[in-house]
Structure 1
Amino acid sequence: MNCVEPIRSEEDIENLKKVLINQSYRDYFFFLLGINTGLKLTDLLNLKFKDFKEQEGVMYLIINNIKYPVANIVKDSFYTYKKIRKENIEDCYVFASRKGNEPIDRSHAYRILNDAAQKIGLSSKVGTHTLRKTFGYHFYKKYGDLKHLQKLFNHSTSKQTLNYIGISEENTPKKVIELNL
């Protein structure tokens, strides 16, 4: 199995979004949801429209009776995507295959991401774990909350989480605190 990387550049993320939205709104929403939630691929592929619930202006994904809040960009894109799809789709898979009533499979998800990455000339290795790793990388860069990611990814050590999101321990931000009591 090849080791894939997170997408570190926000410009590359935007370029991938443009390619995917021109290709298919389903593919765009798949990418957008993956990089904004950090969900496992199996959870993403098995999502149904009824798994999205909005309460008091906040959208949640309900997976195994656990509520995951989603970003507003995901919420807005979800409603756009839902309008594109047929009515009465609550029991339908969000990322349905065009060849039946089942979700796309892992290999199709891989092709979606890999083909788009090739179109923009992305040099790093891209695969299905790229979505989760990209979420983790940018979450860590923004919030520095390694413990949250470690728990979310179900990793046993913080070193494992850093390695997974493509950050070496030498490059982790060091906080210098001067305590003068």
Structure 2
Amino acid sequence: CPCGYYNDPTHNCCCTPGQIQRYMNKISGPLLDRIDIQCEITPVPFKDISQAQPGESSSVIRERVIKARDIQTERFKDFKGIHCNAQMTERMIHQFAEPDEASINQLRMAMERFSLSARAYNRILKVARTIADLDGSECVQVQHISEAIGYRNLDRGDWAERRMY
């Protein structure tokens, strides 16, 4: 929003819904469609930072990412110019990230509920394939699809109307 405090838990946003909508409309839907991962991040209060439990170490995450990249390198070794899931063509998406029936149903519900585009559908499948690679999974499963859908916050038709106080 124009004031910068939309959905901030520690500051009040002083913008009207109309101002927020106009501000959000400055970013076109087709542009948002081309962003694979869209996450809304709210500031974390200091008391929560200081009491946070240690998470997964960077070295463990790094190893998982290297393994996922190795999987992708192997997957695309016969495809000139393709090195990772983000570069997959639509044909490759059907070959390597084809969802099962439960995942298709979940995708259908998300597409209808959030008014997502066909481009968003392909982006979700690419991100889900990457999540599956990070998980060490041969197939894209419903939990991978769920997580990928969760990363499509900003191109949902109701984003600017969802105010949290």
| Normalised TM-score (structure 2) | 0.27
Q: Which has the larger radius of gyration?
A: 2
| Normalised TM-score (structure 1) | 0.25
Structure (1/2) with the larger strand percentage: 1
